[in-house]
Amino acid sequence: MVQWKGGVGKSTLAVHFATSFRAILIDLEPWGGATAWWAGKHATELWQAPGPAPVLKALEQGRCPRLRRGEAGRPPLVPSHEQLLSLTSGAATGVAAWAWTSEGIPTLMVPTAEGPRPLAEALRVAIPRWAKEWGTHVIIDTPAGFGPLADGAIAAADVVVLPVTMDQWAVPALRKFMRAYAGRVRRGLVVPNRVRARVADDGWAEVIGQEGVIEPPFVLGPPIQESEVLHSFRRPLTAGGAPGAARSTVLAQVDVAAHRALELAGQ
């Protein structure tokens, strides 16, 4: 899950995509949006858990991150951690340091079982290995903007999912991402999200549907409508008892988009 602009529903969809096809969810978003959705009032306990971030610890030890077992409609989770914030601030941390290439480009290095490696490269190599060991699909939530956390996830991914809201802020950010990353993405799925029945949304839907706007390796996926229930629920819509009509409608739309991503992954 990638978008340069925040607030497009990326973390929300990450949680529900993972639940839709029983995937493991890795939260690389430093503020832990997906972790908050997953854990509710207990999210801070995970985000501020003693010790290093689970992902960084796994890279250093050369093994899979510890999973928080999902239950009651939640997917298994590798939670975010406050330590990830320092990876986006430009400051060195206890487990990472900046180095410079021969061209003078700053690169964030982290300890791995094979020695210090650029963070993005370490994630690119490790994530497919973790997925293979777990024996299941993996969904990764990433920070808004760009940086080594997102770049590593993008390089590892079979499909990059780009949620986009129908407005003058998210659509241009989508276009910039597609132009910048077309050569790095195997397959990309653009998911119109939080779509409302209004003239403005119809106009932007026409824009992104025009020929030449979304080009290979990206394709336009099925839309997901705006839902008031997503704003009122504090846990994933799959958690708790059997869903009512409102939750069922949202979950059905998410399932269609999630399985379109799964189809692309298999091509």
Q: What is the pLDDT of residue 226?
A: 86
Low-confidence ranges of the chain (pLDDT < 50): 92
CB 68 within 8 Å of CB 46: yes
Q: What is the pLDDT of residue 105?
A: 63
Instruction: Confirm if 187 and 154 have CB atoms less than 8 A apart.
Output: no
Q: What local confidence, expressed as pLDDT, does residue 102 receive?
A: 57
What pLDDT does residue 103 have?
Answer: 59
Instruction: Please state whether the peptide bond connecting residue 50 to the residue before it is cis, i.e. omega within 30 degrees of 0.
Output: no
Q: Which amino acid is at 261?
A: A
Q: Look at residue 136 in the predicted model and tell me its pLDDT.
A: 95
d(CA 133, CA 35): 22
Instruction: Please give the C-alpha separations between residue 234 and each of 105, 135, 228, 249, in angstroms, as whole numbers.
Output: 42, 30, 12, 18
pLDDT at position 92: 47
The DSSP code sequence of 134-195 is HTS-EEEE--SS-SHHHHHHHHH-S-EEEEE-SSTTHHHHHHHHHHHHTTT-S-EEEEE-SB
Query: Whole-angstrom Cα distance, residue 17 to residue 139?
Result: 7
pLDDT the model gives residue 182: 94
Rounded Cα distance, 160 and 140, in Å: 9
**Domains, the chain, ranges and CATH?**
10-265 (3.40.50.300)
CA–CA gap between residue 1 and residue 8 (Å, rounded): 11
pLDDT at 61: 96
**pLDDT confidence of residue 128:** 97
In Å, how far are 10, 21, 156, 218 from 172, measured between CA atoms? 16, 30, 25, 15
pLDDT of residue 11: 92
Residue (of 200, 192, 185) closest to 254 by Cα position: 192
